[in-house]
Every structure is written in C-alpha cells, then in structure tokens.
Amino acid sequence: MRGARWMNTAEYPEIVFEVEHLKDIQEIDRGFQATAVGAMTMRGVTHSMEVPVRITLLPGMLAARGGGVEGDLMVVRSNFTVRLTDFGINLSGVEDKVANETQITLSLAGASPKS
C-alpha cells in the first residue's frame, strides 16, 4: 500500500482534509451533526468533498478521561467513502481484490484544559 503505485507515502506522506465550513447544522443530544465542506488531498490530488460529521461536547469530562486535568472534551466522528481512482491510485490488475470505493472512519478528540 505504501509503494509508488498505491499511496506513494515516500512522496506523499500525509492525507489531509481541510474543512472550509459546516452546513446543515442540527443540534442533537450533547452536540451537533452537520456536513463538513472542504477539500481532501491524497497522493498530491485534491478534491472538494462534503462529509457528514457528528460533534459531541463533553463538558467537565477531561479529568475523567485525560489524566486528571480539569476541562472539557470535544469528539468529532465521521464515516464517508472515497474513490481511490479519483486520487490517482492505479487499481489495474487488482480490481478483484481491492475495492475502488473505500470507507473512511474518523474519530478525533480535542481537549480544553481549564486554566
């Protein structure tokens, strides 16, 4: 997967999704769900994308989950699909073994310590 034919991690070590803005924001229990509008860059190729996100706010939970420091947590989760060929990944010869559409699952946690 890391070779030049696939992800070419020697030349392109990062996959980046830059969020430009959120739309269709709806308040839900302990947070929000929305659509993140942005651009994903993989293998030097950038595509505009819209992906669903769920943002969970956890006030006062940093101490319980982060080593005893008081503060708040925020968790961002998303599941979406990318087409590998859209990013220049060559599937010739392995189409029966590797799906072009790949599911991405993302979970990010952010902490805000109280000063």
Closest to 79 (Cα-Cα) out of 51, 99, 108: 51
- Residue 2 forms part of a structural domain: no
Domain count, the chain: 1
Q: What is the pTM of this model?
A: 0.82
- Residue 31: phi and psi, rounded to 5, are 165, -140
- Location of structure tokens 């956890």: 58
Rounded to a whole number of angstroms, the CA Rg of the chain reads: 18
- Residue 5 forms part of a structural domain: no
**Rounded-to-integer distance, Cα 82 and Cα 76, Å:** 19
Residue 3 has pLDDT above 80, yes or no: no
Residue 54 has pLDDT above 70, yes or no: yes
Domain CATH code at residue 48: 2.40.128.110
> Which range has the top average pLDDT, 5-9, 35-39, 60-64?
35-39
- Residue 66 forms part of a structural domain: yes
For residue 65, CA distances in Å to 60, 62, 96 come to 10, 5, 43
- Average pLDDT, rounded, for the chain: 90
Average pLDDT (8-32) is 94
